[in-house]
Amino acid sequence: MTQTTENSAPRPLPEDWNRALAVVAHPDDLEFGSSSAIARWTGQGKDVVELLVTRGEAGIDTIAPEECAPLRMAEQRASAAAVGAGTVEFLDFPDGTLEYGIPLRAALAGAIRRHRPDVIVSINFRDHFAGSSSLNHADHRVLGPALLDAVRDAANRWVFREQLEEGLQPWSGVRFVAFGASPLATHYVELGEADLAAGVASLDAHALYLANLEGFDQKSFLPRAAAQAGEWAGVPLATAFEVFEV
């Protein structure tokens, strides 16, 4: 895979494709920026499937995991509907203790072979988020490298050969993987006001989760971030991605 260097000028993310697979660790991960781009893409008639690697069961301190998981799954489905993503799937990896390894790579490769996307969207896996000094979530840092490896795995028929017996043929059609909110952003998606409004609605759908974030104002967060990314990209509103070309 080839990564565009972060020192180059911001480039518009290519949009001459039809199917995207959005893969993140937790419910709410896509909604901190990328969901506004998903709204733009579904508005263009593109098909976007959301795949959650965990069920977010460890994300709310005041709710036990077995009670939390179905609540957060329901919020993610409502969030996806707000931006036009018609399909939401969940894997069953443990929230908070995701590990890089063969089981994760195999599950991701299987999803890629099943959905056969042109592009993949995910969340920042670097140590920090753009504009933050806080350490990124361990699950995010694990998922990114596993996802990049799974793209290659999905194209190789001799890796995870048992999936062939399940009817999952190799898929080498992924053009690039785009990670939102990266401090090493290379590309941008220009947003319209309607795209941003849909993104805000998708974040609002995580009401239970947001209610447990002290001092966080979701109403102002996305518009402010979109304006900042737009200034970087030279457009009124945008969301930024770090892109790896396959």
Confidence of residue 3 (pLDDT cuts 50, 70, 90): low
On average, the pLDDT of the chain sits at 95
pLDDT at 41 over 90: yes
DSSP-derived pairing of the beta strands 187-190 and 238-245: antiparallel
Q: Could you tell me if 159 and 171 are in contact, meaning their C-beta atoms sit under 8 angstroms apart?
A: no
Place of tokens 């104002």: 217
Tell me the C-alpha distance between 167 and 150, whole Å: 18
* Selection from 139, 107, 126, 76 nearest residue 242 by Cα: 126
* Selection from 101, 107, 145 nearest residue 123 by Cα: 145
Place of tokens 């966080």: 216
pLDDT at 5 over 70: no
Q: Enumerate domains of the chain plus CATH numbers.
A: 11-245 (3.40.50.10320)
Straight-line distance from the first to the last Cα atom of the chain, in angstroms, rounded to the nearest whole number: 5
b/e map of 63-85 (b: 16 or more CB within 10 Å)? Answer: bebeebbebbbebbbbbbebbbb
User: pTM of this prediction?
Assistant: 0.96
For residues 135-149, give the mean pLDDT. Answer: 98
